[in-house]
Amino acid sequence: MESLAREIRGFSRSRLRPQRTRVTALSGRTVIETWRGACLQQEEAGALPGGGFVRDLSADLQVGVVKPWLLLGSQDAAHDLETMRRHKVTHVLNVAYGVQNIFLDDFIYKTIPILDLPETDIASYFPECFEFIEKAKTQDGVVLVHCNAGVSRAAAVVTGFLMNSEGLSFAKAFSLVKIARPAACPNPGFMEQLRKYQEQTVKANGSINDHD
């Protein structure tokens, strides 16, 4: 995807000030964990001498039920077949970068790799994301939207979907997402884009529809 390639080339580490931690497991495997905004990324560092600490290996299987047919979660949930079946998932929208889909015979997948960077134009991916979500709904399916941690990219997509499909304000849509999945916290750039996206939805729909 050309837009994704441009974002990669334009990426500036100095602007992001990521938090990096070296984690060594008991097995001796060492990874570098980098927090960018609210999302955790990992890269192999190899076995290095010296001490470390054992990272928490518990999976995040909490799935936020935004609508009976619209779920929000992490890659851990997407990679846990029991969790997927318990929530009656039929469709999976994967907006992570570099996260594989592993149950290809069990679910209908759509993969849209998005970088979790404040300067990523996430709104440009909305039409493709929303089309897949709407298709799942019309087929009486249940769609899980996930990224890596289910905190930034996926949360932004689901918030934008609610704003677009139901004419909700950013505040109302995001509150529904936070209630469903309290960990939801799009990076600052995505939050600003969602606020601006509200202006577009108001122009398209004529008003805000924040009824309870």
Catalytic residue IDs: 147
Q: What Å distances lie between residue 47 and 23, 40, 56, 165, 199, CA to CA?
A: 10, 20, 18, 49, 50
Q: What Å distances lie between residue 120 and 14, 31, 35, CA to CA?
A: 16, 25, 16
Distance CA 137, CA 49 (A): 52
Question: Dihedral through CA 48, CA 45, CA 154, CA 11, nearest 10?
Answer: 130
The dihedral through the CA atoms of 148, 144, 158, 172 has a sign that is negative
For residue 157 the two structure tokens come to: 């997509």
| Of residues 198, 10, 45, the one with CA closest to residue 117 | 10
